[in-house]
Amino acid sequence: MDRRRFVASTLAASALAMTNTADNAQTASSSGKPRQYYELRKYLLTNGQQTQLTEKYVSSALIPALNRLGISPVGVFNLYLGPETPTLYLLLPANSLDTLVSSHLRLREDQEFLSAAEPFWNAPATSPAFTRVESDLMIAFEGWPQLVVPPPTAQKGPRVFQLRSYESPSDRDHVRKVRMFHEGEFEIFQKAGFWNVFFSDALIGSRLPKLTYMVSFSDLKQLDELWAAFGSNPDWKKLSARPEFSFEPIVSNITNLILKPTQYSQI
């Protein structure tokens, strides 16, 4: 009996060690910085009262409460070009997965939040505050482990954001596409003049497997100019022509949205 207990406890300890090793591998990065987790949340709205109520809730109640939990900076964007307008997009970054996934429960214990959120939370079914909420849970790429705020944000300067998701036909192709970013694509974006914001792998959400990233520009004119510079870059042509990336299509669908930050966005 004692021997059986010893073997069982040893196996349990080994399993725990393997789990911890996997967790550490998942959240570590080559730069030594922890890989952030992101929730990309979108509020599907209708024009009029819903839009006004949701924006007031997010700016006055939700963002201050999330910041108190350590979720910062919070990006808030109106959909400018893309389907399902009006839609309000929120980008919530956290260094801890627990912080992110437990935020809903912890908000219910924040009396300051509950007081400020009352009109939104208690909106009647006959006049709801939103149509529906959808979200994806993502982890930052190892090679771009933390979100970078564009330079104009501090002064609320002009900027637009492009949110892109690449779906792959298989897990193998998805892994190959992620490798492309780590083997030169980050640097090509930067050389072209993009403001790289975040790059991530979707953990939970729709249309998997996919990756999602965000880049920023001063305006739509610059967006077109920089993508032209990216496409003509010799490094990009060389990278995209490598056999492991070009033997078959490794991206089957691209979702491409243009977002404009709200006045109260922290990104």
Q: Residue 47: phi, psi to the nearest 5?
A: -65, 150
With a cut of 50, say whether residue 117 has pLDDT above it. Answer: yes
User: Which pLDDT belongs to residue 116?
Assistant: 98
Convert the pLDDT of each residue in 132-190 to its tens digit: 999 999 999 999 999 999 999 999 999 999 999 999 999 999 999 999 999 999 999 99
User: Which pLDDT belongs to residue 33?
Assistant: 87
With a cut of 70, say whether residue 99 has pLDDT above it. Answer: yes
Identify the band that residue 258 occupies on the pLDDT scale cut at 50, 70 and 90.
very high
User: Which pLDDT belongs to residue 30?
Assistant: 64
User: Which pLDDT belongs to residue 68?
Assistant: 98
Q: Give the span between the Cα atoms of 162 and 150, in whole angstroms.
A: 12
- What b/e sequence results for 37-50 when a residue is b if at least 16 CB atoms lie within 10 Å of its CB, and e otherwise? bbbbbbbbbeeeeb
Q: Name the helix (H) or strand (E) containing 141.
A: none
Calculate mean pLDDT across residues 35-52: 95
Query: Of 47, 27, 46, whose CA–CA distance to 37 is shortest?
Result: 27
Taking only Cα atoms into account, the Rg of the chain, rounded to an integer number of angstroms, comes to 21
> If 0-12 CB within 10 Å is exposed, 13-18 middle and 19+ buried, where does residue 224 land?
exposed
Query: Contact at 8 Å (CB) between 148 and 199?
Result: no
With a cut of 80, say whether residue 14 has pLDDT above it. Answer: no
Residue ranges covered by each domain of the chain: 37-261
Query: Of 230, 221, 142, whose CA–CA distance to 181 is shortest?
Result: 142
Identify the band that residue 223 occupies on the pLDDT scale cut at 50, 70 and 90.
very high
With a cut of 80, say whether residue 5 has pLDDT above it. Answer: no
Residue in the structure block whose two tokens are 């977002």: 259
Query: Of 37, 197, 28, whose CA–CA distance to 103 is shortest?
Result: 37
pTM of the model: 0.87
Rounded to the nearest angstrom, the gap between the alpha carbon of residue 196 and the centroid of all alpha carbons in its chain is 12
Q: Which CATH class is domain 37-261?
A: alpha beta
Token pair of 26 as six digits: 């998942």
Which distant-in-sequence residues (6+ apart) come within 8 Å of 107 by Cβ? 62, 65, 69, 113, 114, 117
Query: Of 102, 259, 231, whose CA–CA distance to 165 is shortest?
Result: 259
User: Which pLDDT belongs to residue 4?
Assistant: 41
With a cut of 80, say whether residue 109 has pLDDT above it. Answer: yes
Identify the band that residue 49 occupies on the pLDDT scale cut at 50, 70 and 90.
confident
